[in-house]
Amino acid sequence: MSLIANTPNPPYYAVIFTSHRTEVDSGYGQMADRMVELASKQPGFLGIESAREDVGITVSYWSDLESIRQWKAHAEHQQAQKLGHEKWYSSFKTRISKVERDYGI
């Protein structure tokens, strides 16, 4: 996986997931890897970026809001969300934004 997602020209959408982890680690890494693998196969998926220190931040990029809704409703993703709520995250926030402009080198 590239460190910086190669996204198309805007507009597109970003789902920003910010989290604090609990001390529980059982299966987290495998599930996180599986979610990236699974998301990358979903219609409308454009890329993902992730970093973790004290706060974890994962940004996934999508072509449209319907693609985001379908990913949120995906059965295996819902199971991961349930486990996250129950044991992996002490707090989290999900934000959805429309990217109007991007630039870089």
Contacts of 16 (CB under 8 A, 6+ apart): 57, 58, 59, 94, 95, 96, 97
CA distance 81 to 79: 5
3-state secondary structure (DSSP) of residue 75? helix
The architecture of the domain spanning 12-99 is: 2-Layer Sandwich (3.30)
pLDDT tens digits, 1-58: 458 999 999 999 999 999 999 999 889 999 999 999 999 999 999 999 999 888 999 9
What's the pLDDT band for 69 if we cut at 50, 70, 90? very high
Domain range list for the chain: 12-99
CA distance 17 to 59: 6
3-state secondary structure (DSSP) of residue 36? helix
